Amino acid sequence: MSAIAAIASVALPAALAQSSARLTAKQAALLGLPAPAQAVSEEMVGALIVKMRATGSQLAQAQGGAYVRSLSNMAGVGVKGVRAISDSTSHVALDGPMTMSQARAVAARLASDPMVEYAEPDVAMRPFAAPTTEPLFASQQWNLFPPASIYPGNVVVPMGMPARTTSAPAAGAANLIAAWDRTTGSDTVVVAVVDTGIVNHPDLNGNTVLVPVYTAAGRFLAGYDFVSSGALTLPANTVSGDGNGRDNNPADPGDAVSQADRANPLCNDNTPNQGTAAAPSTWHGSHSAGVVAATANNAAGIAGIGWNVRILPVRALGRCGGAMSDVADAILWSAGLTVTTAPVPPETAVPANANPAKVILIGAGGKVGVACSQTLQNAIDAAVTAGSVVVAAAGNEGSVTGISAPANCNNVIAVTAHAINGENATYSNIDAPGGTQVTISAAGGGSPGSLGSSPGAPSGIDDPAWDGYYIWSTTPSGGGAPQLPLTYTGRFGTSPAAAQVAGVAALIKSAVPAATPAQIKSAIVTSARPFPDLTLCAPGRDFAGRCGAGMLDATRALQAAGPPLVVTPPASVTVAVGGTASFTVEAIGAVSYQWVRNGVAIAGATGPTYTTPALAATDNNVAFVVNMSNSFGGTSSPAAVVTVTSTAANSPSGGGALPAWQLLLLSSLLLAARVRVAYREQ
């Protein structure tokens, strides 16, 4: 694996619960155990991004890189290269790596110059998924099932334990079956996969060979490779691995890392659970692409979420991860915007993108605790302004105090992950209360019992020999370079969760071509299903309010991609004089509510539930309607009519008090009954 931020941990069985050595910080906190010991080691940085002010002196603007180099020297840092990223922004390669805190201090000194708008470290980015070697069964795509269905599972034989079946309710599934009745995706919708690159696969572009590794055919459009030859300021070709840096070939040559690679502090990022051993290629980009758009109804393999959408492969990650500056350029190009970074021979200027993406999936990010950089934020803002939805994974460190960039940037759909039963996944990052919260949760796989202490999680499947339920998708074979056969691999992580959200965003864009990024995000958020009772993200539980709007639901999201859809209208009621009436509406996609009485808006009645004041006889046959709206339009509910009677209503829907004469009669009867009982007992 190439600098994966954190490989998802397997939950400990009860016998091992006395030690937190294998737990994430999330698990340890929930089990009341001390936090796992982590080596205190800062991320190493090899480059800075420096942007000059637009109002800077003409001399400073004209000098460009030379001015930045002189500033760097005055800041006390050696520079081995300055490369223009845009007319006013430079990539500054340092003489040697420094810690993140040192790099931030240098950046602060640079930013103190009145000609500098900002300066920041060019941090490392890495993919977020944990690969497995479990064989694929056609029935294993539980993550696409209706949530009320039962996943049949398969037989697992843990070491030293009897065989058992893994069948389970798919409460955390994304509900695609009914969604496909409306749309299976349009070939006019393009999804950019900003990742490790892509390889041919019969379930994506119809190719069954790896010569060449990538062919722009079938579902694949002509993409681009943004991995700079000297990315992360490592020796040339270390990260890119293809010998030529940036070019028009986004093929994934493999991102395997050796122990020698990891010995370099700019490659070994010391994230939890990563270790220092050699790791095979991840094929992360191909896996993400298959989750989004693998071909369906071809009697082979798996089904993607958008069967007909097109994939724009944009390579920004390689061995040891990738540079934030390369990821930012990849985002801009994906959205159809101009990339002005100066090429380093043999690289050439980046051409225009002929197929701008309306959905941009970023399955990678930096470490928890590293804020969204200005460079990333600028690229994301520009992409969204250009009409692209940006989706990013929250990260796999199991953090409860932060999510990774770019998921923590503004204008991003940030995705955390849950297991098959809707339980928050052990590995998935969330933030502390008041922090930058994720937008939505999607199925990321893993053991349903992986959090151990959750009453809502099954207890019989936590053991170190089995990692849980995976998200299956398209990959080649091979631990180094891509090899045949082209196959399918199960993974779990926030990256496959984010890929599912990107796929649903593509379905919405297919069904409603005019939908804006804000409307697509709103449809996904307002249609989310609530987390199952007793799971950690449910109301009143440990992570309530910190796991996003709920669980991804494709069918409901498509329903929400339009004016609000009334699911349960307010019901007519009968109440007595002096009583009150309560009305509730359930509508998918509703953002605002306004209750109306006989055509007149009721002040302050702006929620899904409304209770009247005490009703008089003159309120008989009054009609109540609720008007709902979202960015797509408005909807009104059917009218609910109140019947007001002079006697108590025998209706559970109404409220009110008994008339005085009935209270007097009832009191007399009760008193007489008590007297008779007392007489018999004497």
H-helix or E-strand spanning residue 30? helix 25-30
Residues 6 or more apart whose CB falls under 8 angstroms from that of 105 comprise none
At 31 the pLDDT is 60
pLDDT (tens digit per residue) in 36-66: 555 446 778 889 998 988 765 444 444 556 7
Average pLDDT, the chain: 82
Tell me how far CA of residue 43 lies from CA of 65, 235, 368, in angstroms. Answer: 26, 18, 11
CA 218 to CA 203: how far, in whole Å?
9
Q: What is the pTM of this model?
A: 0.82
- Cite the active site residues: 195, 284, 495
| CA nearest to 494, candidates 439, 542, 445 | 445
CA 391 to CA 506: how far, in whole Å?
11
pLDDT (tens digit per residue) in 178-223: 999 999 999 999 999 999 999 999 999 989 999 889 999 999 999 9
CA 641 to CA 619: how far, in whole Å?
10
Question: Residue 306 has which token pair?
Answer: 């958008």
Burial class for 19, CB neighbours closer than 10 Å (0-12, 13-18, 19+) = exposed
Report the relative pairing of strands 116-121 and 124-127 from DSSP bridges: unpaired
CA 641 to CA 457: how far, in whole Å?
43
At 92 the pLDDT is 87
| CA nearest to 79, candidates 103, 47, 56 | 47
pLDDT (tens digit per residue) in 360-394: 999 788 888 899 999 999 999 999 999 999 999 99
Average pLDDT over every residue of 630-636: 93
Domain ranges for the chain, please list them: 1-40+123-511, 44-122, 565-661
List strand residue ranges (DSSP E) for 257-334, in order.
Answer: 310-315, 322-323
State the sign of the Cα–Cα–Cα–Cα dihedral 141, 253, 257, 47: negative
Partner residues linked to 582 by β-bridges: 611
pLDDT (tens digit per residue) in 455-507: 333 333 334 444 458 898 999 999 999 999 999 988 889 999 999 999 999 99
Helix axis angle, 374-385 to 324-334, nearest 10°: 10
| CA nearest to 76, candidates 56, 60, 98, 57 | 98
Helix axis angle, 284-293 to 494-511, nearest 10°: 40
Q: 1-40+123-511 adopts what CATH topology?
A: Rossmann fold (3.40.50)
Question: Residue 672 has which token pair?
Answer: 């007489």
pLDDT (tens digit per residue) in 433-451: 999 999 999 999 887 654 3
Tell me how far CA of residue 463 lies from CA of 16, 58, 73, 561, in angstroms. Answer: 9, 65, 55, 42
Residue 557, pLDDT > 70, answer: yes
State the sign of the Cα–Cα–Cα–Cα dihedral 191, 196, 199, 201: negative
CA 589 to CA 632: how far, in whole Å?
9
Which of residues 167 and 307 earns the better pLDDT score?
A: 307
Average pLDDT over every residue of 68-89: 76
Question: Residue 181 has which token pair?
Answer: 């009745």
Q: 565-661 adopts what CATH topology?
A: Immunoglobulin-like (2.60.40)
CA 451 to CA 96: how far, in whole Å?
41
Question: Residue 662 has which token pair?
Answer: 């009935």
CA 427 to CA 132: how far, in whole Å?
15
Q: Are 48 and 119 in contact (CB under 8 A)?
A: yes
CA 238 to CA 249: how far, in whole Å?
17
Average pLDDT over every residue of 569-584: 97
Q: Give all strands of the β-sheet with 44-52 in edge-to-edge order.
A: 79-84, 89-99, 44-52, 116-121
At 345 the pLDDT is 84
Lowest mean pLDDT among 129-138, 340-349, 600-609, 629-638: 129-138
State the sign of the Cα–Cα–Cα–Cα dihedral 526, 290, 144, 417: negative
CA 169 to CA 153: how far, in whole Å?
10
Q: Are 553 and 175 in contact (CB under 8 A)?
A: yes
Q: Are 337 and 360 in contact (CB under 8 A)?
A: no
Q: Are 332 and 338 in contact (CB under 8 A)?
A: yes
At 159 the pLDDT is 58
Question: Residue 220 has which token pair?
Answer: 């694949």
Residue indicated by tokens 């009191």: 667
CA 266 to CA 568: how far, in whole Å?
56
Specify the CATH number of the domain 44-122.
Answer: 3.30.70.260
Angle, CA of 547, 396 and 31, to the nearest 5°:
70
Residue 273, pLDDT > 70, answer: no
391-415 b/e with 16+ CB inside 10 Å = b?
bbbbbbbbbbebbbbbbbbebbbbb
Distance of CA 250 to the CA centre of its chain: 24
**240: helix, strand or coil:** coil
CA 522 to CA 557: how far, in whole Å?
9
